[in-house]
Amino acid sequence: MLRNKLLNSDDTKLLNQCRIESFRASGPGGQHRNTTDTAVRITLNNSNISTYATTHRSQHQNKKEALKKLRLEIALCIRDENAPSWSDTWSIGKKDKRYPFFIATILDAFLAAEWKISVAAIILNISTGKLNKILSSNSHLMKKINQERTKLNLNPLSVSK
């Protein structure tokens, strides 16, 4: 339930549960890169979940980008055994506000299925091919699942073409 509470909260409430830091980003970018503290790092309190954004010259834009990344990290890192069913919404795109829930639900199904794709597909009520296609479209999700499979001495899943 913690994950759903975090993902459902509006930006202000979520940010109130985080530590926000601004800093000067290093690397290429010319004369504008190191003149102000526009890079933003957001860390969820009492966790090791942290994201940052440095791509924009605006601290406000970087904060917005880092918050978006934080929601995805929460979805990737926090499991919920009582996750809602998404069987009727398998076409959710990455720009959809519900996308972090979508990713979290897939990971919850894999956890319940002991990281086996065929069992996870049954839990999610979709075909293994459809699930493989979803996994192939998100490298972070695939990486997380393969990390967990490796811990159990299971072969990593491969990306379908």
- The answer to whether the beta carbons of residues 66 and 60 sit under 8 Å apart is no
The full set of domain ranges for the chain reads 10-70, 79-161
Q: Quick one: CATH architecture of 10-70? A: 2-Layer Sandwich (3.30)
The contacts of residue 88 (CB under 8 Å, 6+ apart) are none
Give the predicted TM-score (pTM) of the model. 0.58
Per-residue pLDDT tens over the stretch 93-144: 777 777 888 888 899 889 888 999 999 988 888 889 989 988 888 888 999 9
Q: What is the pLDDT of residues 75-99, one digit of tens each?
A: 888 776 655 455 555 556 777 777 8
Question: Largest Cα–Cα distance of the chain, in whole Å?
Answer: 54
